[in-house]
Structure 1
């Protein structure tokens, strides 16, 4: 019987592999390509994708068990995918996030909730540690197909660790929701369109909007509010943290760019560099934005995104059958030599649309994704990045540290397994 199962699996996989017009390694019976991922470390996953891209090209295919995956790393394939109005279903890997985020915006920052969890002042907080635990486990399930199988996962020690961490995360979120509901009740707030005593329409943070809004005359229930709050609490701080860290890392190697940023700050803010920039001021920080975009090109906070084909589809000549998960390798595309001259050189002017050196295709840079499922918080994230990086540069000279390069890991968010190391030297503000 086992032999029959193996032979049947082999026949199905080989037939699928032969009929597909996308190159890739020959799958093994039952396993497909899964055996290559059993022991792979977080820092080895992106290099593995790079190796297969070099061998098979900008679009290649692998099977994890009998599940087909296609990996894309060129805008000629990526643009029609992410801009398609119907191909918006997130890939099967996102299902691993559902125990945490439910059917929130990511799967179907701290300040937008009106509540602080003090993550910056307490890196050992239970909440911060719980997010780190869940992120590592979800990342493991995404890259290891065996851990991705629910039956196997329930037998692993990671299941208990995930349940304990989710208990912390959901408890914190529910406490925030309950506290804010009570506060709104105490001040007699019942709707989002109410005005203050002077006739000016009240402004609300994101959590207030969720608690005060109605759908078909009914308030949004606590579970759906919790799912959206969990999504924004995660998406709003981890991605920005990655962006800030790698931007400062890049600037540490380029003191001349730090001086340009400082000069831009003086021009916009005057000699009083200590004042908080306004929204208009932030929009004027053009050079700083180019620096941030170049950092996000080389170190995208989200290095991979995924879509699930819910019907047989053809994109840019690629035949994708129903059930195929398509990964967009943003990291690989951002470093593609056909798209960026000397891609490992840090050159902010690449993103100046008036420059002859700017990217040839608008979809060559996808740090915030694109199309109907692009990042809802990208403008807010860019403001956070500008404020934080500008503040650091105004107060410190950023210096490199003579240690090993960042060991890049795709753990939902781009991280370094050895940390992102820099030195900060206080500036003499009288100069």
Structure 2
């Protein structure tokens, strides 16, 4: 008798849940596939990570630039057109990250990437001065030094054979972020088997699995899988490295008898370690920032500050290898700037003269955006870009698909850097490699500067040779490739500098 009642109750709950889901769909003006009871559309998303972007494209081809799906009872709306993107990212109210970001909390806590509300607003305002150009220009020697180490590593391998760029570039980017905004040396390039980088990759892959496979998104299921143990091991290593970075900088500050941030100007601390110094020395409401908050922000920037720039550098080199004419045009620009001193490091003002390089980077980030997908949570019933969205809906902006939308960019699958020097790129919300609006990337100038310095060093030293291996793209937390991103290199000499 009790069993029958329990079954009836369960059926009733499931029926009400499904009816509620269908009722929300009827009130919405967003098309999409019909959801099944209990699972919604979750079964349609059980695919390999290499198939995920293609799956989203197939939905876009069928339903248009906006469609909705359900992961169990959770509603998601996916958009891939600037007319919807503008309303989403420019809103001062829609700043809460979507449900998928909750899977990052064990790793990044309430850092700037995952935080919302007053906490996010306070920390965003507080940390923004650390990325002012008056601070950034002090990082140039760090970027130059590490790009030269990377160049020397490539030179030892430069025989025209394929080199997988992601592993070696990630180490250079990690050295850059640690030495510049963190103010400590981790010497990752001298330790090519970096456990930290491998742990970051593990955490990224596990988080992505939880985002893409609905069943793993449920804690009670995930905690029963081997992924939970792998995540715990990786977290212990990553958080341990973070503590070492914080303690090393704290010891340095104590050694120099720095106990506060006096002597600053409107741009922050007058040294090259502004970011971590701000976290360790500044006060909010008369109190120092607590240890956990410092750790969360450092974890966030150690991850975001090296993984995204790695992706930007790697895919730009890949694109250049496929287009020797553009590569030589870029080399000519470098020759104009450096003259007969092609081995010297650039001055800060010379980076602004690298116009062709900037166009090349932007076009590469259009075709291969470092962060292919971003997400916002609708916290109350709202209309966004003409879309009727109910409270609790997660809106996913498919930047990868939008950047390849033929309605947005002519010949979207062709590499045409000049498009960013023309009126074709007139909608500021059609190119969102660094997002836009209040939650745009706080470190975008840092990233562009690092990418420019690294690419300038490599292009002046090598000819990039295409190889017959196309990357198999994965929409990880960043845009990765299952089979690596491979390019051949030939050292430039006086006789072969020009084609």
Instruction: Report TM bin, short chain.
Output: over 0.9
Contact 2:183 2:272 in 1 (8 A): no
Match of 1:104 in 2: 111
Match of 2:431 in 1: 365
Contact 1:194 1:202 in 2 (8 A): no
CA distance, structure 1, for counterparts of residue 270 and residue 451 of structure 2? 29
* Match runs of 1:136-215 below 5 Å: 136-194=205-263, 201-215=270-284
Structure 2 unmatched ranges of 5 or more: 1-6, 116-176
Q: Is residue 399 from structure 1 mapped to residue 465 from structure 2 by the alignment?
A: yes
CA distance, structure 1, for counterparts of residue 349 and residue 70 of structure 2? 50
CA distance, structure 1, for counterparts of residue 248 and residue 486 of structure 2? 38
CA distance, structure 1, for counterparts of residue 322 and residue 274 of structure 2? 38
Q: Is residue 380 from structure 1 mapped to residue 441 from structure 2 by the alignment?
A: no
Q: CA deviation at 1:255?
A: 1.0
Contact 2:40 2:70 in 1 (8 A): yes
Q: Is residue 291 from structure 1 mapped to residue 299 from structure 2 by the alignment?
A: no
Q: CA deviation at 1:13?
A: 2.1
The alpha-carbon distance between structure 1 residues 293 and 63, as it changes in their structure 2 partners (threshold 3 A), is same
1:86 paired residue among 90, 93, 100: 93
Tell me the TM-score normalized by structure 2. 0.82
CA distance, structure 2, for counterparts of residue 282 and residue 202 of structure 1? 21
- Which structure shows the higher helix fraction? 2
CA distance, structure 2, for counterparts of residue 224 and residue 12 of structure 1? 39
Q: How many residues align?
A: 422
CA distance, structure 1, for counterparts of residue 442 and residue 355 of structure 2? 22
Match of 2:138 in 1: none
Contact 2:24 2:390 in 1 (8 A): no
2:484 paired residue among 395, 419, 422: 419
Match of 2:69 in 1: 62
Q: Is residue 390 from structure 1 mapped to residue 456 from structure 2 by the alignment?
A: yes
Give the stretch that moved more between structures: 121-130 or 320-329.
121-130
1:338-386, CA deviations, whole angstroms, 9 ceiling, x for partnerless residues?
A: 111110000000111xx24x22421100000000000001011011111
CA distance, structure 2, for counterparts of residue 139 and residue 287 of structure 1? 34
| CA RMSD of superposed structures (Å) | 1.5
Q: CA deviation at 1:75?
A: 0.5
Match of 2:50 in 1: 43
SS in 2 for 1:419: coil
Q: CA deviation at 1:6?
A: 3.6
Match of 2:32 in 1: 24
1:67-89, CA deviations, whole angstroms, 9 ceiling, x for partnerless residues?
A: 10000000001101100111111
Contact 2:182 2:273 in 1 (8 A): no
SS in 1 for 2:429: helix
CA distance, structure 2, for counterparts of residue 33 and residue 317 of structure 1? 24
CA distance, structure 2, for counterparts of residue 224 and residue 59 of structure 1? 37
CA distance, structure 1, for counterparts of residue 408 and residue 276 of structure 2? 40
SS in 2 for 1:284: coil
1:277-312, CA deviations, whole angstroms, 9 ceiling, x for partnerless residues?
A: 122111110110000000000000000000001111
CA distance, structure 2, for counterparts of residue 123 and residue 44 of structure 1? 30
Match of 2:341 in 1: 272
Contact 2:181 2:272 in 1 (8 A): no
Tell me the TM-score normalized by structure 1. 0.95
Match of 2:420 in 1: 351
SS in 1 for 2:189: coil
SS in 1 for 2:352: helix
CA distance, structure 1, for counterparts of residue 220 and residue 270 of structure 2? 52
Match of 1:11 in 2: 19
The alpha-carbon distance between structure 1 residues 244 and 201, as it changes in their structure 2 partners (threshold 3 A), is closer
Match of 2:295 in 1: 226
Contact 1:193 1:201 in 2 (8 A): no
Q: CA deviation at 1:234?
A: 0.3
1:408 paired residue among 463, 469, 473: 473
Q: CA deviation at 1:15?
A: 2.0
Structure 1 unmatched ranges of 5 or more: none
CA distance, structure 2, for counterparts of residue 119 and residue 9 of structure 1? 51
CA distance, structure 1, for counterparts of residue 426 and residue 249 of structure 2? 48
Q: CA deviation at 1:203?
A: 5.0
Give the stretch that moved more between structures: 140-149 or 271-280.
271-280
CA distance, structure 1, for counterparts of residue 407 and residue 426 of structure 2? 9
